[in-house]
Structure 1
Amino acid sequence: MTILEIAPRPQSLMLNFFGIHVLGRDVALSSGCVIEVFARVGVTEEAVRSTLTRMVARGLLRRQRRGRRMYFALTPRAVAVLRDGRERVWRTGAVNRDWDGQWTLVGFSLPESWRRERHDLRTRLTWGGFGPLQNGLWVAPGVVDVAELLGDLAFQDRLRVFRGTVLAPTEVTRVLESAFDIAAIAARYHAFLDRWSRPGALGSDALGGQLLLHTDWLECVRDDPRLPAEHLPADWPAIRAEKLFHSLARRCAAAARAEAGRVLDCVPALPADS
């Protein structure tokens, strides 16, 4: 398996890389060691440097210099994003077996000229498990902390947030089919199973294999609103895919950690205002 078969975005790879090796350690990594690791999964030096620059501009990484070398540390915003991702992968899980019938609804009306704002809102809602039920109305199964999800957006007065249940004659399955592309979600899990069930899928490089595995899995989880299992097919592929991910992640963890200790150039992260 090669990077071309999975083709994750460089920023997704970068976030996962820092999430695995930096989150919770309060250290910064040199650009040189990041370039070396990413070369193992087919990402060019130019792409790495460009991605690091973009992530600094987006407030996800911050630079610090030591001698002639440039290092990169996580910002508080990145830490929050990565902790949420870790929670989603290791605790919340990909299968929702305890839905209580509650829905969270977000209504909004933004001018067509607010393209960036609309994109940011929809991106946040998708990450929060929402799908578009109809124009300007998004729904998510379960209780979602919308204030936490959208609290820093500047147009709070244009949002309307509700919580409730589905009543007859509306059917839950029709809501799910309208708001979410169930076939596409299932297809992503099937693709994950196809890629990572192959013998030797992790490859001989534990560090590179771990990075691709974690990035591929988080891409699946990121696009999955955790629909209630009781309203999905009995053979929902997320169940098998999650088991496979956990098995492979455990298998490569020790070797990847040892290799990271050998190749990563880490220094203590400086205070953000230094």
Structure 2
Amino acid sequence: MVTVPVPPLRHQPLILTIYGLYGRRGGGPLPVSVLIEMLGDLGHDAPGVRSAVSRLKAKGVLNSVKNGGVAKYELSPRSLEMVSEGDERIFAPYRAAAGGPWVLAIFSVPETMRDRRHQLRTELTRLGFGSVSPGVWIAPSGVREGAKRRLAARELAEYVEFFTGDYSAEGDMRARVAQWWDLEELAAQIGEFMQFYGNSLAEWTAEVGEDPEAALAASTPELRRDAFRYYVPMLTLWRRLPYRDPGLPLEYLPEDWQGPEARRIFFGVHRLIAPMAEAHAMALVAKADAAV
């Protein structure tokens, strides 16, 4: 039996993960009762779930809809776009090659709009950009289009100009990258993931084998529930990392960098247990629909 880790995660990011996984396809808009049952599987009580849903609705992340006479919630169009964009970073990982092109994001914000300046810095950091100087930020060129879409959605695009090119100066790029990015913080986030999930691929392979189709076919309801309880928090913890690390070339990172091993583990476990987790989630949705 696989032991299910319990990373310290709040209601809201877990709810966003659930909607990203199950609220866009077969689940559609989800009633609060389903969210309560799903978050209950993850160890959270009903009042906390209701409060988190209310906050997400107030922020414009979720919209309420009537479906079959039942009040349900779905991702707002803006949130749906952001979740879809996130999939590009999470499930189609990009790793730049040494010597490849970079994108510069250069911004200038009037002094009277300091809040916009703070928003820009926050968004660029979340998108994986490093800071060369206060108004000049850098990332591998592969993140450019996603960054442009995100800043446009945040109504920040008018303050930023993007330029793509090569870095031609002499010097140690590993030292430059360590100067531009907070690698210690990123390493700590990777270390947190490894603390909870470093043995996950070996444990799940020992439990269900290496064939996800066979594992799903042979799974019991209890095993599918365990897969759900395991997968949703794991993905929630993981999804921050492909943003904070924008695919920096491994040659420019410390020699003991754990990123590639964390990525191997995540995608290996994702392949094995995501189908079982989805089967559990869709069974909860079907049960709620049948009760209406």
Q: CA deviation at 1:215?
A: 0.7
Aligned position for 1:222? 243
TM-score normalised by L of structure 1: 0.82
Q: CA deviation at 1:44?
A: 2.9
Aligned position for 1:84? 85
Q: CA deviation at 1:63?
A: 0.5
Tell me if 1:120 matches 2:119. yes
**Aligned mates of 1:81, 1:90 — CA distance in 2:** 14
Pairs aligned (count):
264
**Aligned mates of 2:29, 2:177 — CA distance in 1:** 43
Aligned 8 A contact 1:210 1:256 in 2: yes
Aligned 8 A contact 1:173 1:231 in 2: yes
Aligned position for 1:270? none
Q: CA deviation at 1:186?
A: 2.1
Q: Give 2:240's aligned amino acid.
A: E
What value does the CA root-mean-square deviation take over the aligned residues? 2.9
Q: Which stretch has the larger CA shift, 210-219 or 226-235?
A: 226-235
Q: Give 2:83's aligned amino acid.
A: L
Aligned 8 A contact 2:36 2:45 in 1: yes
Q: Give 1:229's aligned amino acid.
A: L
**Aligned mates of 2:76, 2:259 — CA distance in 1:** 32
Cα 1:163–1:250 shift into 2, 3 Å: closer
Aligned 8 A contact 1:166 1:172 in 2: no
Q: Give 1:125's aligned amino acid.
A: L
Aligned position for 1:106? 105
Per-residue Cα deviation, 1:174-216 (whole angstroms, up to 9, x for no partner): 3311211112212322221221134768997222211111111
Aligned position for 1:135? 134
Cα 1:85–1:158 shift into 2, 3 Å: closer
Q: CA deviation at 1:66?
A: 4.3
**Aligned mates of 1:226, 1:26 — CA distance in 2:** 32
Q: Give 2:109's aligned amino acid.
A: L
Q: CA deviation at 1:18?
A: 0.8
**Aligned mates of 1:26, 1:68 — CA distance in 2:** 16
Q: CA deviation at 1:165?
A: 2.4
Structure 2: segments with no counterpart, 5+ residues: 208-222
Aligned position for 1:148? 149
**Aligned mates of 1:256, 1:26 — CA distance in 2:** 13
Aligned-residue identity in percent: 28
Structure 1: segments with no counterpart, 5+ residues: 268-274
Aligned 8 A contact 2:100 2:166 in 1: yes
**Aligned mates of 1:245, 1:136 — CA distance in 2:** 35
**Aligned mates of 1:20, 1:186 — CA distance in 2:** 27
Aligned 8 A contact 2:107 2:135 in 1: yes
Structure number having the greater helix percentage: 2
**Structure 1 residue matching 2:92: 3-state secondary structure:** helix
